[in-house]
Amino acid sequence: MSPLSRRRFLQGSGAAVGAVAATRISIPLRSETVAAAETLEAAGRVSRDVVPTTCWIGKQDCGMLAHRVDGRVVKFEGLPENPRNLGTLCPKGQAQIMALYDPNRVKSPLVRTNAKGEPGKWRKVSWDEALGLVADKANEVRARDKRAFVWQKGRSKGAAFYDDAFVKASGAAKFSHGAFCSDAGYRAAEYTFGPKGVLHPDFRFTKYLLSWGWNVTNGGGNQLCWITWPRQMVDAREQGLEMVVIDPRLRSAGPFADQWLPIRPGTDLAFALALAHELIANDTIDREYLTKYTNAPYLVDDEGHFLREGTTPLVWDSATGSPKPDGSPGVTPELEGTFDVAGTAARPAFQLLVQHLEQYTPEFASGICGIAAERIVEIAATFGEEARIGSTIVVDGVEVPYRPVAVMAYHVVQQELGFQTTRAMMLLPMLVGAMGAAGGQQIDVKPWSVSENFEKLDTIKIQDPPKSIELAASKYYPINSTNSSLAAHVMLDPKRYGVDYLPEVMIIHMANPMASFADIPVLEKAYRKLKFVAVIDPWMSRTADLYADVVLPAATLEKYEGPSSASDQYVDAITIRTPPMEPLFESRGEIDIYLDLCERMGILFGPGGYLEQLNTSLKLKAPNVLATDRKPTPRKIFDVWAKAEGIDEGVSYFEAKGVYVKGKIPPEKAYGYAMSPPFGGVKHRLYGESLLGYRETQQELGADEVYWHDYTPLPTWRRPTMEESPARYDLYLISFKLIEHKQSRSSQIPLLAELSGGQRLEINPKTAAERGIEDGDEVWVESHNAITEETRRVKTRARLREGIRPDTVGMPHHFGEVAKSPWTKGQGPSPNSLYFTGEGYVGATADQSFHVKVRVFKA
């Protein structure tokens, strides 16, 4: 039963209209000509209103207004008050109205009647029966071994509070999508600086931007979905922003590339190191930042470890010419030189960096990246000059260091060397002191804050044998982003990794591993081993179709969900999704589903129960707290949460206005450099001593080199494993996102499938000609695993493009993900079945590489 009775729903929306009108989102009265033109049948019969909700397709939950006629949604338009989309919507946001009404949605709970591994045959059942079945299976396995109960989600829409609460209350192991996203970059940022995110500029002031694999015209960018970044970018360009595009494929940057550097895939690390080499060579270095806010001055012994007094690292005091504990008063630390400390030659970390970088000359990188050395020299020079080291600017009355140069990097980290590549990219803003400066380098779109991972990732206790199927904190992947395809590998050969159990029962929520995760063939084998799978999804995903025992139909946007930040990095705001209609068919909002499921599992009430976990994950405190002995409606949960946020109207505020704008983020919060203390008082890890520590432990525990060779304190270049493939695999395959689609939840939407409906292989005409391939020809793409010698192939159509490197081919990654939809038939294969997981194709942090060597030939 939906939490929302029709009557109350209408009351809610009534309130909405009133308030909406009050907030200038008014629906102007019909002009006289229209009034005159009103035909009798149209006149009066129609009741119109507008209620807020949020986009459900994209990542950043843009604010929307649902225009309704007699309670039926006829159009979604952007919510002007939402800082992220300012009243606008992207093609997906517009088209999702078709997803809302899609008759091919899963309409009621289904139970499988045929064997797994083949397209499903289903029996309609009641919610009661379906939830009962799931609850029993879950409890049965939890009683034996909690680790064998796995909860997997592709992407949580809004904050993951209700999922986390379920994971905690049920003790399930949690698989997420991170390792297939930009988690390598997140780990690098969390480890190096603290904030959660990768790299983006301060578009308000940035003048020179390295757009590094940023899919400006199609993809999101650091943390946010598509709309916000491109908008800030074009605005910035009108203020004179210059953009250097580093990307094997030009289409991603469209007309906004002042320079296009078609870099060879997988070589970004070398490119970054060469730029750093040049910055030092040009002495465009912000010594003050490095000395005060990074571990650059820490003295390192010849083993690579910091010299310490107690736990405090030592620095070399130039005034007294002696080592001093870091932070002791009156010390002016040296950055360069070699010093004798109690008989051992000690060097500041920065000195090591300088020496380390000597090998990475522009000529060296040029050979690897396929970009002329002059270009590298020129870019580094401009980057250094534009940084205006030492300058400051007054922002909203506060003086802030001004360094208008930055990097935008996000999905570019999806490569074997992703973690260290990001570390190397971060050297650039660090060297010129642009980190957290105005116009400089930003990491999180929310106010600058140091996450708990800053410490956690520095102090990992490696466990051997591994405690979990995803090999967290193991000697294989000490830092670990949870790669479910890697877990699938382990499931197929647990002994090899010393794992003593197998997952048996899995709840897959809004995830479609069989299409949108890498290494599909291995996933297919592994998931067949699961004893029971329940899928929560609005559509019959490929995964559900092949492996689900039970499918629970989730609502799309016609439900309460959230809360989500609506911050665009300048204005802080928060929003929740409110339903513009009741859930269609028999579908239900996830929170309803979890409340009932937990009730059936007997983990809803009382201490440690789901409700208490909700209070924890929403940080609810008395008086605004959920009773743990009564089942609330989702609306009630958000009402309590909203009041706890200090919004007296409670949830009805959002039902009326859609977004709660907290106001401008003040410079002291926006810029880490302007905080007191700056950067939250942490020292940025230019030198990753603990990484060296992990390496040593891994070696002691006998891990192979492939697991430890990237655990180096300073980013170090090596040839990616894929380069070991035989010469006939002469092309690099990259995959990319299209603006028309989002992950696995859009290719079945006809309006979007029509715009961009089929798989294709982007290939340079020169390369195509060498193979006798013409535009539109069917071609085979065959990938090769350099370690296992395994090959895989898919057939698709060639699309000739001048804007892609001749040694590189590209495929978009969203097609054919939904089964039983007339529009996904024949959309073609996913490149994800060409990628490999496991040694050589995941990074040191278990993050997925989306690079592989392939050969292409006419079908």
Partner 1 sequence: MARYGMVIDLERCNGCRACMEACKVENATPRGSYWMYVFRFEQGKYPNTKVSFLPRPCQHCDNAPCVKVCPVGARYKREDGLVATDADRCIGCRYCEVACPYGVNTFNWKEPSESYYLNWNDPDVSKVSGGAVPPYRDPDLDRRYGPEHRRIAGGGHHKDVMDKCTFCVQRVEDDRDPACVQTCPLSVIQFGDLDNPDSAVSTLVRTRANFRLLEDSGTDPRVYYLGGQEPGEQSRQIEAPEAEV
375 touches partner 1 (CB under 8 A):
no
* CA pair distance 655, 431, nearest whole angstrom: 47
Q: Phi, psi at residue 855, to the nearest 5°?
A: -120, 150
Q: At what angle do helices 373-386 and 362-369 cross, to 10 degrees?
A: 120
Min dist. Cβ of residue 804 to partner 1 (A): 7
Min dist. Cβ of residue 759 to partner 1 (A): 13
- Which range binds partner 1 by CB under 8 A, 80-88, 167-175, 517-525, 653-661? 80-88
For partner 1, the closer CB: 67 or 157:
67
User: What are 848's two structure tokens?
Assistant: 């997925």
- Which range binds partner 1 by CB under 8 A, 83-91, 109-117, 394-402, 694-702? 83-91
* CA pair distance 233, 221, nearest whole angstrom: 11
| Residue from the set 803, 820, 839, 859 that interacts with partner 1 by CB under 8 A | 803
Number of residues engaging partner 1 in binding (CB under 8 A): 78
| Residue from the set 107, 174, 631, 793 that interacts with partner 1 by CB under 8 A | 107
Min dist. Cβ of residue 60 to partner 1 (A): 12
Token pair 């009534």 is found at 14
Please list the helix, strand and coil fractions of the chain in percent, rounded to the nearest 5, in that order: 35, 20, 45
Q: What is the DSSP string of 67-106?
A: EEETTEEEEEEE-TT-TTTTT---HHHHHHHHHHH-TTS-
Min dist. Cβ of residue 653 to partner 1 (A): 25
Min dist. Cβ of residue 431 to partner 1 (A): 29
Min dist. Cβ of residue 810 to partner 1 (A): 13
For partner 1, the closer CB: 108 or 382:
108
Min dist. Cβ of residue 229 to partner 1 (A): 10
For partner 1, the closer CB: 109 or 418:
109
Show contacts with partner 1 in window 690-719 (CB under 8 A): none
For partner 1, the closer CB: 30 or 528:
30
| Residue from the set 6, 8, 30, 124 that interacts with partner 1 by CB under 8 A | 30
For partner 1, the closer CB: 206 or 232:
232
Min dist. Cβ of residue 379 to partner 1 (A): 16
Show contacts with partner 1 in window 746-785 (CB under 8 A): 750-757, 764-766
Question: Count of CB atoms within 10 A of residue 1's CB?
Answer: 8
- Which range binds partner 1 by CB under 8 A, 561-569, 608-616, 707-715, 745-753? 745-753
Show contacts with partner 1 in window 248-267 (CB under 8 A): 250-251, 253-255, 260, 262
588 touches partner 1 (CB under 8 A):
no
The counts of H helices and E strands in the chain are 27, 33
Q: Looking at the chain, how many residues does it have?
A: 859
One symbol per residue from 40 to 69: x for binding partner 1 (CB under 8 A), - otherwise; what is it?
A: --x---x--------------------x-x
Q: How far is CA 558 from CA 81, 89, 571, 822, in A?
A: 21, 18, 27, 23
User: What are 139's two structure tokens?
Assistant: 């409890």
Min dist. Cβ of residue 713 to partner 1 (A): 36
Could you give the angle at the alpha carbon of 758 between the alpha carbons of 757 and 759, nearest 5°? 145
**Half-sphere exposure for 599 (CA within 13 Å, toward CB):** 13
Show contacts with partner 1 in window 230-249 (CB under 8 A): 230-231, 234, 237-238
Min dist. Cβ of residue 22 to partner 1 (A): 19
- Rounded (10°) CA dihedral 623, 559, 228, 23: -70
Q: Is 750 exposed, middle or buried (0-12, 13-18, 19+ CB in 10 A)?
A: middle
Min dist. Cβ of residue 586 to partner 1 (A): 9
| Residue from the set 70, 288, 399, 629 that interacts with partner 1 by CB under 8 A | 70
For partner 1, the closer CB: 109 or 693:
109
Q: Which among 460, 481, 538 has a CA at the least distance from the CA of 694?
A: 460
The region, left, alpha or beta by phi > 0 then psi within -120 to 50, assigned to residue 683 is beta
Grouping H, G, I as helix, E, B as strand and the rest as coil, residue 596 is: helix
Q: Phi, psi at residue 839, to the nearest 5°?
A: -45, 130
For partner 1, the closer CB: 236 or 349:
236
* CA pair distance 141, 531, nearest whole angstrom: 10
- Which range binds partner 1 by CB under 8 A, 24-32, 396-404, 433-441, 654-662? 24-32
One symbol per residue from 87 to 106: x for binding partner 1 (CB under 8 A), - otherwise; what is it?
A: xxxxx-xxx-xx--xxxx--
* CA pair distance 562, 573, nearest whole angstrom: 13
Show contacts with partner 1 in window 195-224 (CB under 8 A): 216-217
Q: What is the DSSP string of 134-147?
A: HHHHHHHHHHH-GG
10 touches partner 1 (CB under 8 A):
no
Min dist. Cβ of residue 104 to partner 1 (A): 7
Encoded amino acid at 15, one letter: A
Min dist. Cβ of residue 87 to partner 1 (A): 8
Q: Which among 555, 598, 561, 602 has a CA at the least distance from the CA of 578?
A: 561
124 touches partner 1 (CB under 8 A):
no
Q: Which among 108, 102, 57, 54 has a CA at the least distance from the CA of 82?
A: 54
